Amino acid sequence: MKKFPVVSSDDKLNNFVRAQCKALGGDYHPVFYKDRNEVIEFLKYELPEIKLIYFSDKTIDTKAIMEEIAKDPWLHYGGVIAVHDNLEEKELLESMSEQNVIAVLRRNELQYGFARLMKILKQNKQILFQRGIQQQLIKSSSGSFVMDNDPLDIKTHTNLITNYLFNTNLIGKDDKDYLHVALLELLINAIEHGNCKISFEEKSAWLESGRDIMDLIREKNKDPEIKAKKVNFSYAIEKEFSRFVIKDEGSGFDWRARLKSKITEPGLHGMGVKMAAAYVQNLIYNDAGNEVSFEIMHRQNESSAIPAIFDINKEQVFEDGQYICSEGEESDFLYYIVSGNLYVYTKGKLVSSLTPDDLFMGEMSFLLSNRRSATVVSKGRSVLIKISKQDFVNLIKESPHYGIFLARLLAQRLARLNLRTSRLNTEYLRLKQELGAVKM
């Protein structure tokens, strides 16, 4: 059961969320807060994967809470579910431009949308893991979503994928924004032009009347035949790139004409396919036009965000082949890995390598007051932030939640080491049995 904060003083809203979570099987346990300081303490010490904030609650300073989160998005990367009465969504999203927004729901959409949203999150736990173990799963990962013709599905899955790739350090902020636009455009095309059969002219007339295209999609879904259609969205995340495939159940469209279109000025619509093609790589349609695939390249050995408590002025640059530390030397500091690739040698043998996915280098000898157990050499150019023991202790005094995060990180590494040892023991026993059988 995962705890998540609900920032709201509205009893009716809170009771609804509590009842919905219970009805969904109790996978998520809401914890309710009205006081700004109390919710900030919860965020710091629990590091929740999701948080629901009622932005129309006039008794709570939601702006101050978001500002606190924005001070250190590296640590507080958990997704935000934003609920409001009737705020301007564009302005609300702009105010959270640096946040990992999972979904934005109007209060009157909760009855339908909340349970649907939580089910999506439950089904996609693999992309909601804590930062410390995400990189262990990202080396090669794939999955697929089957979406209804629903705007909430589009936005939620788009946010989940883009946030995940950003949080696991595979894409930077700009690429995250580009991918977000491309996915939204292509998924909306699959629903409105593919499954819902909305023509260019029909959409133009609807938008010119000042109405939201999402309302037209919902109107079309009143037809049982259209409502039954799905959009299949699959992804494959490799070391150097991610590949996506979107397929609808419509009859397709003339994508060649759309790509050759001379529309160059932004209007009410019509630029989606061209924008997507400009923002991603290898965008390819099938002949019918009801399936599109594309790729986005990953950044290599760079960190998307640096912890707010680390002074960027302490960055140190190491060139290819330069020694960072030597086996046996005394240690009173560790490094935060900003970018690069580090080779680790013990007794002259290469035993492992470190990248920004490992976050820190030298934390064990640093914490245990031991001498360095290995020699570390930069492979190519690397950028590190050197942190002395005194500075780190002072930082933890000021921000104790970093101590909790470091403890979790070390616990996860220990768990991985135990798992590796267990697998080696199993392999050793298997080989021993096979050798014994051969001798007999």
Query: Average model confidence (pLDDT) for the chain?
Result: 82
As given in the structure block, the two tokens for residue 438 are 């051969």
Least confident range from 30-34, 50-54, 239-243: namely 239-243
Of 24, 32, 268, 52, which Cα lies nearest the Cα of 123? 24
pLDDT digits (tens, 9 = 90+) for 247-257: 999 888 777 77
What band does 131 get if pLDDT is binned at 50, 70 and 90?
very low
Interval 387-415 mean pLDDT: 73
Residues in the chain: 440
Cβ neighbours for 9, distance < 8 A, ≥ 6 positions apart:
34, 57, 59, 60
Yes or no: is domain 306-393 CATH 2.60.120.10?
yes
Q: Is the pLDDT of residue 22 over 60?
A: yes
Sign of CA dihedral 276, 277, 283, 286: positive
Tokens 């003339």 appear where? 254
pLDDT digits (tens, 9 = 90+) for 348-390: 888 888 888 777 888 777 666 678 888 999 999 998 888 887 7
Interval 52-57 mean pLDDT: 94
> Which CATH entry fits the domain spanning 1-123: 3.40.50.2300, 3.30.1330.60, 2.40.170.20, 3.20.20.150?
3.40.50.2300
State residue 57's pLDDT score. 93
For 280, phi then psi, to 5°, come to -125, 175
Torsion angle, alpha carbons of 252, 254, 258, 260, to 10 = 150
pLDDT digits (tens, 9 = 90+) for 257-308: 766 665 555 444 456 677 788 889 999 999 888 999 999 999 877 776 677 7
**Of 73 and 64, the one with more pLDDT:** 64
State residue 126's pLDDT score. 63
HEC string for 294-331: EEEECCCCECCCCCCCCCHHHEEEECCCCEEECCCCEC
- Strands 315-318 and 382-388, sheet pairing: antiparallel
**Do 38 and 1 form a contact (C-beta atoms < 8 A)?**
no
Least confident range from 66-70, 326-330, 364-368: namely 364-368
Q: Is the pLDDT of residue 5 over 80?
A: yes
What band does 127 get if pLDDT is binned at 50, 70 and 90?
low
As a 3-state breakdown, the chain gives helix, strand, coil percent values, each rounded to 5, of: 45, 25, 30
What band does 1 get if pLDDT is binned at 50, 70 and 90?
low
**Of 398 and 57, the one with more pLDDT:** 57
d(CA 178, CA 175): 5
pLDDT digits (tens, 9 = 90+) for 152-177: 888 899 988 888 888 777 888 889 98
| Strand ranges in 56-176 using DSSP code E only, listed in sequence order | 79-84, 101-106, 141-147
Of 111, 102, 108, 85, which Cα lies nearest the Cα of 19? 111
Cβ neighbours for 335, distance < 8 A, ≥ 6 positions apart:
316, 324, 360, 361, 362, 384, 385, 386, 387
Could you give the maximum distance between any two Cα atoms of the chain, in Å? 86
**Of 75 and 100, the one with more pLDDT:** 100
What band does 136 get if pLDDT is binned at 50, 70 and 90?
very low
State residue 398's pLDDT score. 73
Return the domain boundaries, the chain.
1-123, 127-299, 306-393, 400-440
Helix segments in 34-88, DSSP class H = 36-46, 62-70
Interval 106-111 mean pLDDT: 89
Alpha-carbon Rg for the chain, nearest whole angstrom, is: 25
Q: What is the DSSP secondary structure assignment for residue 190, as one 8-state letter?
A: I
State residue 47's pLDDT score. 80
CATH superfamily name and code, 127-299? Histidine kinase-like ATPase, C-terminal domain (3.30.565.10)
Residue 236 burial (CB < 10 Å; 0-12/13-18/19+)? middle
Distance of CA 353 to the CA centre of its chain: 24
State residue 313's pLDDT score. 58
What band does 78 get if pLDDT is binned at 50, 70 and 90?
confident
State residue 233's pLDDT score. 92
d(CA 408, CA 440): 48
State residue 312's pLDDT score. 61
State residue 231's pLDDT score. 93
**Do 250 and 188 form a contact (C-beta atoms < 8 A)?**
no
What band does 55 get if pLDDT is binned at 50, 70 and 90?
very high
pLDDT digits (tens, 9 = 90+) for 214-244: 788 888 989 999 999 999 999 888 878 999 9
pTM summary value: 0.69
d(CA 136, CA 157): 22
State residue 137's pLDDT score. 37
d(CA 196, CA 3): 38
